[in-house]
Structure 1
């Protein structure tokens, strides 16, 4: 197998995206993944508009994140064991029902515990489309630059959705009924997931042979997969700090809109940098790439604290830090390719999604308290330091992703 870390050219992008059988699933996947970044904000704005309380809206949004963290791994295991079509169709039906129940609960003024519970259930059954979409590329394209480019496309498209999704949610929140954003997000998720699951390429995907489950932890028992999950956790902690610190700086400057503009610009830079980085990735050895990229991300975000109240300085450092986002996400996908035994790819990606989600949630909650105590700079410093510390852990564990590590399947549990 070609080394997963080799560079790619623009012709590789064209070749990957025009692979036989890939166009239609990629289109439905885009429709279904667009609401990934839109759903949480649409829920928060809807609940806040209906209740008039950001505190209540925050609790409901947190319930949704907890549900996603718990459900992504379970769905990943089901997809790996049964193939993608049946679990995705079942999740689409359950998600449609859960979102409907959430809307009914909010409209009826149900008790907070019931609304939070409905949000958690909706998060848990939110279809595992990102992991299934990523796993499909490993079946459609051969290993090497072409597959690396396919994974880079997944990372770049997700960045684009993180630009468009929140903007669309905010726009729809201004409608006469604030729940329209959540409704649109739910419909797009269901339509995209159903279309993706029923395409010939996805229906033809059969479960790969599995030698064992690895016990309760599943594929997370693999040292390499655990290393990638820790990279996702560190990434989420850093991002969580920025997502709290930047709006806080913008609020101090008297312009809340500026925070959204800066985060959107962050994502745009990430997309452009990801395209360039894929042509000549560094470091070349994949097992060194995760700690180096996360460490650089942490250092750059911590440096945002030095900008103080200077919006110009903050913007410059922030955009430089944004250039490391897509390369990290792509490196995580490539590392999973190396670390995951056959038949467990979607579950492995589910663990990484869970780690990132928990990291963002922990980063936001922790740095939110720090902002109240010491100002926005504390959020950048805390997020950056957390990223650097996790980068040190990744460096210590780099051998778990070295090319010489045994990739035989997990033994069957007794």
Structure 2
């Protein structure tokens, strides 16, 4: 009988055991610095350009270009790291990233057109150091498969949500500084320092090149398996819904005359997410992974539709708290699902595909939301985001069997 993979419930002790594992301290600390700005770079760029050009449409396109670059760079960097380890790739892209960010700022300050800003934003995103996939892949070397490793993956998702709380809030606050590009510079500096530090840790330097990948020679790489494509679809839907909300919420705040609180409102989206994420890891539902991914995405779309109802910022805050409760559970589910879906030897690249899918979804969502906000009121963007979550959740349901593990043959069946 074929059963869906049932994720082990984790405890607080499992979290402590994972984080205290020998060799984990330095990578954990440095990756915190490297990943803190992940939700800050794109938003800081969006707010910076919006303040400079006074157009959410142009800002949304440039931010979407940045996310497209991240989508490409996460897979490209992940594939290289699976083959040569994380140290050299992270050091090289960190140096290139610094040059590209400086160039983007120079073009913005000189009043450059969108036709120049968008390609530069794509290049900046491509060279953002992908410490997240490298950090996640390192747990497969530090811990054996089981509940403690699941706790480590849950920690990765929960910590990312903490960064999603801090990142937008910091971007929203720093854009109000005398120079609107302060948030972009601060985020880039933090990312480079953390990535270089992670690359030089003993655990990262000890990671050896891998040659056992079962997808060697495939253009799609880790995405060649049906299960990985289903995980990618779930991540794309999640990113699309979230991306639309990330543009519509600041626009809603601006329409009420409180533009400065737009970034802080986005942080509210993640507050409940962190709390629920810890509790959800202890009692995940639905327990079978092939049912969990479509259920979470559909429920997220339904909750985002609640953002249509509030007429005040206080009401919008409450609705964001409710919708945000399903953000971390989805991130955790994507990460844990890779254990069954990813081909052997593609740990870093597989997580890179998750990031790619989320960022492609966010790029599409932000671009669409920017246009809807310009043409209509933010509620239309919220309604569209919710509908996208429900539709893609339904599509994922039709593909749920691709996340079932392969049948294990008995010796007698193998002989036959």
| Post-superposition offset of 1:183 | 2.2
* Residue number in structure 1 paired with 2:143: 141
Offset at residue 86 of structure 1 (A): 1.4
Q: Cα distance 1:371–1:212, how it changes in 2: closer, same or farther (>3 A)? A: closer
User: What's 1:325 paired with?
Assistant: 327
In 2, Cα distance between the equivalents of 1:140 and 1:47? Answer: 42
Q: In the aligned structure 2, how far is the partner of 1:42 from the partner of 1:193? A: 19
The match for 2:394 among 365, 387, 392 is: 392
Equivalence for 1:245 = 248
Runs of 5+ consecutive residues of structure 1 not aligned to the other structure: 408-414
Aligned to 1:376: 378
Q: Structure 1 256/113 Cα, relative in aligned 2: closer, same or farther at 3 Å? A: closer
Q: Which residue of 1 aligns with 2:366?
A: 364
Alignment partners' CA distance in 2, 1:312 and 1:354: 34
Which residue number in structure 2 is paired with residue 411 of structure 1? none
CA contact (8 A) 1:4 1:145 kept: no
2:236 maps to 1:233: yes
Check conservation: 2:173, 2:263, Cα contact below 8 A: no
User: How far is 1:271 from its partner?
Assistant: 0.4
Task: After TM superposition, give the deviation of residue 19 of structure 1 in Å.
Answer: 0.8
- Cα 1:337–1:216, aligned 2, differ >3 Å: closer, same or farther? same
**TM-score of the two chains, using structure 2 as the length reference:** 0.89
Match of 1:221 among 221, 224, 241: 224
CA apart distance, 1:327: 0.5
Q: Which is worse superposed, 295-304 or 191-200?
A: 295-304
Mapped to 1, the partners of 2:225 and 2:101 lie a distance apart of: 35
The 5-angstrom pairing of residues 150-169 of structure 1 reads 150-169=152-171
How far 1:173 moved relative to its partner? 3.1
Tell me, yes or no, if the aligned pair for 1:81 and 1:343 is still in contact at 8 Å.
Answer: no
Distance 1:157 1:134 in 2: 12
Could you tell me which of 87, 95, 101 is aligned with 2:103?
101
- TM-score, normalised with respect to structure 1: 0.90
Map of 1:137-216 to 2, 5 A cutoff?
137-208=139-210, 209-213=212-216, 215-216=218-219
- Alignment partner of 2:275: what SS? helix
Q: 4+ residue runs of structure 1 moved beyond 6 angstroms?
A: none
Q: Does the 8 Å CA contact 2:168/2:266 hold for their aligned counterparts?
A: no
| Two-structure CA RMSD over aligned residues (Å) | 2.4
- Between stretches 323-332 and 389-398, larger displacement belongs to 389-398
Q: 1:126-137 to 2 correspondence within 5 Å?
A: 126-137=128-139
What corresponds to 2:289 in structure 1?
Answer: 286
The corresponding residue for 1:354 is: 356
How has the CA–CA distance of structure 1 residues 372 and 405 changed in structure 2, closer, same or farther, with 3 Å as cutoff? farther
Instruction: Give the drift of 1:108.
Output: 4.7
Secondary structure in 2 aligned to 1:34? helix
Task: Give the Cα separation in 1 of the matches to 2:109 and 2:249.
Answer: 32
